Structure 1
Amino acid sequence: MQLMPLLERLFPLGHSILRRDDVFSGSARTAAGEVTLIGTANRREVGIDDALQLAAAVLASTREHPQRPILMLVDTAGQRLSRRDELLGINAYFAHLARTLELARRRGARLVTLVYGEAVSGGFLSFGLMADQIYALAGAQIRVMDLRAMARVTKQPLDKLEALSRSSPVFAPGVDNYVRMGAVESVWQDDLAAALLAALARPAEGDRRRERGAERGGRTLACDVAAAVRAGEA
């Protein structure tokens, strides 16, 4: 889905965004009050300038409206692979963005992400994956690492990883697999404004991705391993 039709469906009461290239920020009205918007469009590859722009919007919202919810709208093909960004330390810029979001959370802001296009690699990890709750549209695509890249990193044959992806959502891309793993809470369809209001009304419950992944059969060991570590058994 394109950005502007999405905004119309999410915010029938109105919205206002400032867009530079395919990175934007702004605010919108809901029946529950104002929300801050940040995000990317057109499969934007997130670079250092984009990270600074998004971080500035988060800091401004935290300074002026510390308890206002922040909605992150994600459509990114990943981090920008350029010599300039790498030499300037893109990882530090992404860490800065992540820290601003953690500051917003500690000051009382709810962090909600909606993946409406693609969510890939560092472009997703740097801001969208920081949310308290992550949702996706039915046609969205999510993958933190392509299987071919995973094969290069893990030194495992591609055909082996492809076989594993057919039985384990941990190795497989796609919204449904991320729902099974507990990383995505649910898929939004039909009345998007009502879905957003329901998300904003949910009580804060901390990070329960491991528990949801276990309940849904997508991550069968993470919850037990974490419990064993906390108990000093591992």
Structure 2
Amino acid sequence: MIAHPTDRLLDALFERHDVRHEDNMVIAGEGWLDGRAVAVIGTTDRAFIGVETALALADHVLAVLRDHPGRPILLIVDNGGQRLSRWDELMGNNGVIAHLTTCLDFARRNGHRVVGVVHGLAVSGGFMATGMATAACHALPGAELRVMVPDAMARITRIPLDRLMALFETQPVLAPGAENFVRIGGLHGVWEGDPREGLRAALDATDPEDDPRRRLGAERGGRGRAADVAALVRAGAGA
């Protein structure tokens, strides 16, 4: 029997693990690395993040907070973005996704090291609610990240596709691809080598800032003004 791609990833990341596959393509459980237990939460198979999925993920985050204070959390990110069904919109999917992000932020503020890894696909709001809500998010080689497919972006913005592709070269904020998300600081990096070593380093890393993404984007040339504007706002410039 061929192992599920996510199970193969977990085998590569941990010495052993006990992670179950649930409904809505949600996974949850724990893995052990160097004798340390790590909570594992995430999605598989390019799941769309709808109300049930977001609530299930948030419930698992809160369970770790309740049952295992301080335990690090690995968030497996593999989604096709937020689900756009009428039912999800009527149920307030945007608010439920915000609830998931709030739970991850609450975990970080209460001593849990929250690390994300993009495995497969991460799209738009699905990435913002998961990978962008971690302390540090990484990607595996071959992972796909995008705000929107370029053809659709061209139709919505009414910018010709060839012009849009040219803009991506100098303006990576809306450009697809892991390398562009690294440039803007949305990803800390890509685990090119042994993923277990990448996870070990990510769990042990300490950031001087609560969220270094703006600084990383400035240092890497992907977001030239975000850090400066944020600093002016915090200083009350123009108040």
Q: Same fold (TM over 0.5)?
A: yes
Q: What is the aligned counterpart of 2:230 among 204, 226, 232?
A: 226
TM-score when normalising by structure 1: 0.93
Q: CA deviation at 1:154?
A: 4.4
Q: CA deviation at 1:78?
A: 1.0
Task: State how far apart, in whole Å, the 1-side matches of 2:236 and 2:58 are.
Answer: 37
| Mapping 1:84-123, distance limit 5 Å | 84-123=87-126
- SS in structure 2 of the partner of residue 233 of structure 1: coil
Range moving further from structure 2, 67-76 or 197-206 = 197-206
Query: What CA deviation, in whole Å up to 9, does each residue of 1:168-188 have, x standing for no partner?
Result: 211311001111111111110
Task: State how far apart, in whole Å, the 2-side matches of 1:76 and 1:23 are.
Answer: 10
Q: What is the aligned counterpart of 1:18 among 8, 17, 20?
A: 20
Matched, 1:28 2:46: no
Unpaired runs of at least 5, structure 2: none
Q: CA deviation at 1:152?
A: 5.1
- SS in structure 2 of the partner of residue 81 of structure 1: coil
Task: State how far apart, in whole Å, the 2-side matches of 1:226 and 1:68 are.
Answer: 31
Query: What CA deviation, in whole Å up to 9, does each residue of 1:79-135 have, x standing for no partner?
Result: 112111111111111111112112211211011000011000222222221000010
Q: CA deviation at 1:231?
A: 3.2
Task: State how far apart, in whole Å, the 2-side matches of 1:6 and 1:18 are.
Answer: 14
Unpaired runs of at least 5, structure 1: none
Aligned to 1:174: 177
Kept in 2, the 8 Å contact 1:48–1:93? The answer is yes
Task: State how far apart, in whole Å, the 2-side matches of 1:154 and 1:168 are.
Answer: 15
Query: What CA deviation, in whole Å up to 9, does each residue of 1:9-30 have, x standing for no partner?
Result: 0012x11112124211111101
Q: CA deviation at 1:139?
A: 0.5
Task: State how far apart, in whole Å, the 2-side matches of 1:231 and 1:100 are.
Answer: 28
Task: State how far apart, in whole Å, the 2-side matches of 1:225 and 1:32 are.
Answer: 43
Matched AA of 1:131: T
Matched, 1:38 2:41: yes
Matched AA of 1:109: H
Query: What CA deviation, in whole Å up to 9, does each residue of 1:191-230 have, x standing for no partner?
Result: 1111111111111431111111111111111112222223
Kept in 1, the 8 Å contact 2:64–2:71? The answer is yes
Identity of aligned residues (%): 48
Kept in 2, the 8 Å contact 1:75–1:116? The answer is yes
Matched, 1:68 2:71: yes
- SS in structure 1 of the partner of residue 57 of structure 2: helix
Q: What is the aligned counterpart of 1:207 among 204, 207, 211?
A: 211
